[in-house]
Structure 1
Amino acid sequence: MSTLELDPTLVARARELAARAAQPVVDLARRHTTVSVERAVLRLAGLTGTDPVTGEGRVEDRVPWVNRVVDAVRDQVGLEQGIALPVWHALTSGTAPSLQALAEQVGAGTARFEIPADPEPARLAARDAVAAGLARIDANRRRRDELVATHGDPPRRPWIYLIVATGDIHEDIPQAQAAARAGADVIAVIRSTGQSLLDYVPEGATRTGYAGTYATQENFRLMRAALDDVSAEVGRYVRLTNYASGLCMPEIAVLAGLERLDMMLNDAMYGILFRDINPRRTFVDQRFSRMVHARAGIIINTGEDNYLTTADAVDEAHTVTVSQLLNETLAHEAGLADWQLGLGHAFEINPDLKESFRLELAHAMLARSLFPDAPLKWMPPTKHMTGDVFRGYLLDGFFNLAGALTGQGILLVGMMTEAVVTPWLSDRDLALRNVRYVLDAAGGLTEDFAPPKGGFIDRRADTVLREAVDLLGRIADHPEGLIQAIADGTFGITKRPPDGGKGLAGVVELAAGAYNPALELLEAVHA
């Protein structure tokens, strides 16, 4: 595969500055917990279900037990020590025979929590309970490996990534299976609009999502089982994607591991910039969620493509590179390997700009050369889709060709009606024909495509990399690092202050003696 000969000193400098710029948010994450991190601990320990007393109507609107328990502990003793000590002290002291029974006491208003004088019995019990959940995640990782060995991987890269999202999981399943039969290698079930802003995870199989389907444990289970069936039918392992972002990022990461999802959208800054979720909340949650993804063998997809929907894809190209380097740094710190880094970028340059395709190739080759072992996720045009379906179909063909030429790892299928209307099933079928034709006809061109040193593509990539290093230097030199860069509007021309946004009330500074058994077990493997 052809890559550019980037200046190795410049590349090393970029990674050094990315590490410095990211360190303040790593330190922040280590010093804090959140309500969602603590709820994730309870989910790993096996607590599921909702409080029937507090929920009426649709099952997905009922309050989960994990929320009720964390809220009760916070109200009675605070979360500065974490959830594990007060909850498992109640269990080991005989207050309740099981975690479920304790949750029901919370629902009845009779549970009483305290921080134990001797924390060791609670620590050991909590560790054992969470270890059982992690053992299930480990078993799912082994099962994935077995199924890949049995059915095989797709015969070529990039993998074809297709979205389904009817709002009804029972409608999503046949569409996902049909997409796999038509050539899709990865099925993404996008979430119902606004789920990222819910501070709880809905429960059960859902049929009422808007412009997407709720991410729930049961929906994950149903879709994974359906894709296992179609994997056996088509003779390749079909991967499943959902979204570990928003206010419940850690919990959704845990549910993905428990139900053997294969990829998760998980970007360090997307929720901050595009959903106005508090930066501190996001960075604490994303570190925990990525540690779970690392353990589960899940590939993350980052969201740099979104910057180019709000900022100019040429003028701000270097901010994409900066974000990729920061996402890489934060992912490595959380234990993710290079093969799990589906770093994002997109084909979003104005097609009316002269040499636009050459510029797209330069940006794609820069990413491919900077991250040679990462399965980069290449996103189709959306910003400049106009409703002219013939022009849109041509743009998608050029996008597919750029992905083939530059060796991208994950190719999201573009549709000619993208960003104009919700695509019809026939639009998706045409889009799959487009990508299949290009990959079949030109997929091997990556062996032959070698832009010359000093040529247009090489010069453009060097320019973007140097601009990225300059920006990283400015971020690294600021005492607040990345937090301040976000406040200044560096990414996606969107300003988000550190004390603003949704979810800040759910962030808690840890006290001496705080204990999180999940972090202890995850960090032990990472170390």
Structure 2
Amino acid sequence: MSPTTVAPPPRLELDPRVVRKARTLARRLGRPVVDIARSHTTVSVERATLRLAGLAGADHERVPWVNHLVDAVRDQVGLEHGVTTPVWDALRRDEAPDLLTLAQKASAGSVSFRIPEKKGELSGARRAARAAVRPGLQRIDRQRAARDRLVGRLGDPPQRPWVYLIVATGDIYEDIPQAQAAAREGADVIAVIRSTGQSLLDYVPEGATREGFAGTYATQENFRLMRAALDDVSKELGRYVRLTNYASGLCMPEIATLAGLERLDMMLNDSMYGILFRDINPVRTFVDQRFSRQIHARAGIIINTGEDNYLTTADAVEAAHTVTVSQLMNEYFGREAGLEDWQLGLGHAFEINPDLPDSFRMELAHALLARQLFPDAPLKWMPPTKHMTGDIFKGYLLDGFFNLVGAMTGQSILLVGMMTEAVVTPFLSDRDLALQNVRYVQRAAGGLTEDFHPPRDGFIQTRARQVLSEAVELLEKITDEKVAKASGSTPLLEAIGDGTFGLMKRPKDQGKGLDGVARRADGYDNPATTMLEEGTR
């Protein structure tokens, strides 16, 4: 059951030709990047495929068996042909009785891998790999169907926007009661924020964890525990409470896969966040994000993108158009990977300096522009963080203004702002006050979306048109000038390298995880990718 968005009536008089041009330019920018993603693989894509085949667990030093097996294959024959062909060829040659034992033997260096040359051996290994991966995708399908049944029986929250609240103690067993309490107080979506630095780990930790830093580790067991706890409170409350985590960083495909297997409902999954803010190699990121979004599409998961982060490093007025460009690129990449519009939780944020004249009017203009450009997308509206000073009274008022913009512009997912944002880790009492703020605004002003119509050529209309025009100009500059400057280059990657987004310069031949990228050979095979693109059940 798709959580559709009821779009408000148009309020901005945007030139449809300008809107079409923006999307045309975004497609032109995105296609060469998709070509790169289609012609490369990564260690995390291959590990995710093995996880779909059921390989789990870790050694005594907590290194996952999928890492051991992929590393052994890469060291012996490379990843250019994919990991599954040499792995299932080894199983068919009785190198080990099962996948787990093979991984254990590979970690000790006692397995010989090869790319079979005989046609019968090659086709046999590939058939066996496909048969082994299929049950993982079928489990994702069953989890999606289970969500649909629960939503059908329990119902969705009665109001929009969905109230999205973060829980992050570092201890999954502390997170669970806090998440259930938040749901009882009105939260519709619980986000278990990830432990600081996990995006830079090139492995997924194993098991339930109790020692995170400013967050809780994303693991399959933690996903399972929290989903079960939210199912319990959903039945208690009579509405389905959604669960969010983070599919980003060096293990983006694996975390997306584990989320599908354990029925998470939303995942943070931005095409450029890891590049800009974690210095992960651009090619690695775009290859990984395409596979992860294919998994999300199959699982019925809503992605949340990270455009709000640009405004924490760049000025929210001067860089507003870069947010629009990123939203257009995330829309293109998401659709190309199979996501439907209702799964595109494109990000935007309330981050203009409140001391600027007309700051609230500009926030309205930016929020309305996003809402109208993407009418069927469940936009994720992010609260103020950059200009939260520690004055909790001013912060609480600023969050109220943020909630009011959400009500006036028909946002779909509203991340609850905290008056102690960026100062301390919020107490439960802070979360309760923040939820009270949201509830008051929703009760008092939730219907304003029907009444708010900015004048035809007034400040809000003019500002929105300006931002859209600047976005088109930037798209034109990237597609035209960069191609002329560097023949044969990939314009979007060149723009990222030049610091166009978020003031971060990230060259395509640098960054973390580059050594985990491999160009596909002509004989490359990945049954997970094939079945995802075929839509095979």
Task: Give TM-score, length-normalised by structure 2.
Answer: 0.96
Given the alignment, which residue of 44, 58, 63 partners 2:52? 44
**Contact 2:72 / 2:107 at 8 angstroms: preserved in 1?**
no
Report the alpha carbon displacement of residue 123 of structure 1 after superposing the two structures with TM. Answer: 0.8
After TM superposition, give the deviation of residue 108 of structure 1 in Å. Answer: 3.1
Are residue 509 (structure 1) and residue 512 (structure 2) matched? Answer: no
- Whether 1:172 aligns to 2:180 is no
1:488 to 483, 498, 502: 498
> How far apart are 1:305 and its partner, in Å?
0.2
Between the aligned partners of 1:235 and 1:452, the Cα distance in structure 2 is 41
Residue 268 of structure 1 pairs with residue 271 of structure 2: yes
Does 1:205 find its partner at 2:215?
no
Instruction: Give the AA of the match of 2:43.
Output: V
Deviation at 1:109, TM superposition (A): 2.3
State whether residues 21 and 482 of structure 1, in contact with CA within 8 Å, keep that contact through their aligned partners in structure 2: yes
Distance between the aligned counterparts of 1:222 and 1:259, measured in 2?
A: 9
2:358 is the alignment partner of 1:348: no
AA paired with 1:43?
R
1:54-85 alpha-carbon deviations (Å, 9 max, x no partner): x1xxxxxx100000000000011111100010
- Matched residues in 2 for 1:5 and 1:40: separation? 45
Q: Which residue number corresponds to residue 33 of structure 2?
A: 25
Aligned-residue Cα RMSD (Å) equals 1.0
Cα distance between partner residues in 1 of 2:279 and 2:532 = 29
% identical equivalent positions: 75
* Deviation of the 1:2 alpha carbon: 3.5
| Counterpart residue number, 2:66 | 66
Gaps of at least 5 residues in structure 2 are 1-7, 484-489
1:463: Cα distance to partner? 0.5
| TM-fit CA distance, 1:421 | 1.6
2:19 is matched with which residue? 11
Q: Give the distance between the partners of 1:444 and 1:392, measured in 2 at CA.
A: 24
Q: Which residue pairs with 1:385 in the alignment?
A: 388
Aligned position for 1:427: 430
Of 280, 284, 308, the match for 1:281:
284
Match of 1:329 among 320, 328, 332: 332
How far off is 1:450 after superposition? 1.2
CA contact (8 A) 1:335 1:526 kept: no
Secondary structure at 1:415's aligned position in 2? coil
Deviates more, 1:404-413 or 1:101-110: 101-110
Amino acid across the alignment from 1:159 = W
Does the 8 Å CA contact 2:68/2:107 hold for their aligned counterparts?
yes
Q: How many residues align?
A: 519
CA contact (8 A) 1:39 1:251 kept: yes
Counterpart selection for 2:447 from 431, 441, 444: 444
- Report 1:108-507 matches (<5 A): 108-117=108-117, 118=119, 119-477=122-480, 478-479=482-483, 480-507=490-517
Distance 2:518 2:442 in 1: 49
Contact 1:51–1:107 (CA<8 Å) still a contact in 2? no
Instruction: Judge conservation of contact 1:189–1:241 (CA < 8 Å) in 2.
Output: yes
Q: Does the 8 A contact of 1:136 with 1:258 survive in 2?
A: yes
| SS of the residue 1:497 aligns to | coil
Q: Which secondary structure does the structure 1 equivalent of 2:36 belong to? A: helix
> Residue 462 of structure 1 aligns to a residue in which SS?
helix
For residues 423 and 414 of structure 1, what CA distance do their matches in structure 2 show?
10
Q: 1:131, 1:8 → 2: CA distance?
A: 44
- For 1:177 and 1:2, the matched residues in 2 are separated by 35
Runs of 4+ in 1 over 3 A off after TM superposition: none
Compute the displacement of 1:526 (Å): 9.2
- SS, match of residue 215 in structure 1: coil
1:163 counterpart SS class: strand
Q: In 2, distance between residues paired with 1:105 and 1:481?
A: 44
CA distance in 2, matches of 1:292, 1:26: 16
Could you state the TM-score of these two structures normalised by the residue count of structure 1? Answer: 0.97
- SS of equivalent to 2:159: coil
In structure 1, how many angstroms separate the alpha carbons of the residues matched to 2:377 and 2:225? 29
Mapped contact 1:168–1:208 kept (Cα < 8 A): yes
Tell me the SS of whatever aligns to 2:236.
helix
Which secondary structure does the structure 1 equivalent of 2:447 belong to?
A: helix
- State the Cα deviation string for residues 385-423 of structure 1 (Å, max 9, x = none): 011110000000000000011011100000011011211
Q: Please, which runs of 5 or more residues in structure 1 have no aligned partner?
A: 56-61
SS at match of 2:535: helix
* Distance in 2 of aligned mates of 1:233 and 1:180: 10
1:160 is paired with a residue whose SS is strand
